[in-house]
Structure 1
């Protein structure tokens, strides 16, 4: 997740209050961060945290050495913020559309979410958008990237996650420092997800246990099941919103579709042995903004993975090709990615 709103001066469309909370929140992160080596050496550091941080340093070295991700000061410091999430993102969409509402910033460009360091602030902004008739979703996130402008620290919000989840987050956020395109959130997030997935495969191959391999398989199966569920209902809703129904009839049909989606998720959850990893996503009465939040992170991932396969798994060549893509006009970039994510292209990538 890119914290564009957190590090770049907002344009006139954003309020001074938003700018101040962003700067204040970022300043708090900086002030609380200490070198990981020092935290490990501190006698007052809990043994469990000390061991977690040692593993983080190993992951961080692997990221630069094996994945060719930036070798800089990011994720070499640690900060305890005393809260479960570093930022709460607000996603929004029109009542009858799956296109995200976007907010624009001078350097980072337009992004499909707006982040707040305080949950209450995010809630107030979401309520304002909802009062205007938009669908909204507030999602707490454990990590973000300042795109290399600052040294992003490891945070208490994710350091105690299972090791594969910690590695996934670090690989993802560092990927944003490799390639970032203004005004194209889906491109940026899908690229970072593709890098994190490849990074996890290589980490497990080099350092993983049998338990890690089983966990990765389960993570992949469950994520695939969740995404297939969401995509099937996204297609139904897209067709509904293009139909000539009256607003009231469309509203009623929309409510039924989302109710069916939740029922299907409960059945899927049972098949997973009551695994509740996606319960929080469903807890806020899913709407268009929820679907937007998923599409931003996943829609182009198959294309990037096919591109990596085409480059023979060479991450250096892959990054160079993605940089070339990033420099092209958006329509041309999207056309090439679409060709890579066609069923035929995906089949070739598996050969």
Structure 2
């Protein structure tokens, strides 16, 4: 009964928070034509309108009212997500919700509420992380607006619009890795096509360089996460595990400092180390990219045709979990075989 009351309270804040967002939303077309609106905001919203049209026409994403309105929330993030992991595990705690299924986070429209909930989890012995999120998707149930939280740059705006619209195309309840990897692939392919459409290939090169840098950082974190997982399986006392766990986090900081000293561009990741390191923080890294290679292979097998790609992904999404994983791995193998055959044809002995 207590758990039921807690869930009712959580759903209430979610409903109230979302309705507040919707009440603030105004048609972008009206704001663009309003002479009293800040010129910089007009420019960004005009760009958003063009991106929205591009998303439907070129990326074959839903042609609906989502991202045709704008809401200023007067805060830096749309929601704050709470993630948690046991003291001696990197497996994230799961929460189950109506429609969304089970996910590895709990979102709040108030940072104070998120922090209070995080404190409860810490008191229960969990490693906890609270992070601000610039956007969320209602999966097409509502017309999601453009928010002030993600209009800081052209690529951030494009990234969020393409990513969140992708969730309206395919969403498998309870499979965060599948959903987010798919949406991230659509986001990345969308940005590539957008920048070439705008005649900005040099900006795509810079974007690619940032992705390579992100992969390098992710690999550093994942290596240390693997060390933690091995440690937690060891037959030693909890006290010994705590000491060794602290050593892994200290080593991660040291390895990053060494990386940054040789490559100053990695200074952009210093902010990641401001908050204390724990299992939950390390567990969140690369959740959105684990299946990216498989989805990229699947798109290649459809010759880059987005509509065909979505049809295949929908079909895979309807399969049981194990079969979904097998289908994606099969696509990855087939794509690699095709690439190998192509290389052989180009360079015959």
SS of corresponding position for 2:218 = helix
What are the within-5 Å matches in structure 2 for residues 223-302 of structure 1?
Answer: 223-302=214-293
SS of corresponding position for 1:278 = helix
Given the superposition, is the C-alpha separation of residues 69 and 272 from structure 1 closer, same or farther in structure 2, using an over 3 Å criterion? farther
Deviation at 1:296, TM superposition (A): 2.4
Structure 2 Cα separation of the partners of residues 318 and 250 of structure 1: 46
Given the superposition, is the C-alpha separation of residues 291 and 338 from structure 1 closer, same or farther in structure 2, using an over 3 Å criterion? farther
Aligned residues between the structures: 339
Query: Is 2:85 the partner of 1:112?
Result: no
Q: Deviations over 1:137-188 (max 9, x none)?
A: 11101111000000110011111x2211211111110000000001111111
Structure 2 Cα separation of the partners of residues 345 and 246 of structure 1: 46
8 Å contact 1:136–1:287 — kept in the other structure?
yes
From 78, 83, 89, the equivalent of 1:91 is 83
* Structure 1 spans left out of the alignment, 5+ residues: 1-10
Residue 16 of structure 1: aligned partner: 8
Structure 2 Cα separation of the partners of residues 297 and 114 of structure 1: 16
Structure 1 Cα separation of the partners of residues 262 and 187 of structure 2: 26
Structure 2 Cα separation of the partners of residues 45 and 264 of structure 1: 47
Residue 127 of structure 1: aligned partner: 119
Structure 1 Cα separation of the partners of residues 275 and 78 of structure 2: 19
Deviation at 1:285, TM superposition (A): 1.4
8 Å contact 1:191–1:301 — kept in the other structure?
yes
Deviation at 1:303, TM superposition (A): 1.4
Given the superposition, is the C-alpha separation of residues 235 and 275 from structure 1 closer, same or farther in structure 2, using an over 3 Å criterion? closer
8 Å contact 1:91–1:292 — kept in the other structure?
no
Deviation at 1:265, TM superposition (A): 2.2
Query: Is 2:71 the partner of 1:103?
Result: no
Task: Give the aligned CA root-mean-square deviation in angstroms.
Answer: 2.1
Residue 222 of structure 1: aligned partner: 213
Structure 2 Cα separation of the partners of residues 97 and 257 of structure 1: 14
TM-score by length of 2: 0.91
Given the superposition, is the C-alpha separation of residues 340 and 227 from structure 1 closer, same or farther in structure 2, using an over 3 Å criterion? farther
8 Å contact 1:172–1:193 — kept in the other structure?
yes
From 30, 35, 38, the equivalent of 1:38 is 30
Query: Is 2:317 the partner of 1:330?
Result: no
Structure 2 Cα separation of the partners of residues 251 and 215 of structure 1: 41
Structure 2 Cα separation of the partners of residues 74 and 237 of structure 1: 42
Given the superposition, is the C-alpha separation of residues 341 and 282 from structure 1 closer, same or farther in structure 2, using an over 3 Å criterion? farther
Structure 1 Cα separation of the partners of residues 97 and 108 of structure 2: 15
SS of corresponding position for 2:75 = coil
Deviation at 1:101, TM superposition (A): 0.5
Structure 1 Cα separation of the partners of residues 279 and 302 of structure 2: 36
Structure 1 Cα separation of the partners of residues 123 and 51 of structure 2: 44
Given the superposition, is the C-alpha separation of residues 255 and 174 from structure 1 closer, same or farther in structure 2, using an over 3 Å criterion? same
Deviation at 1:261, TM superposition (A): 1.3
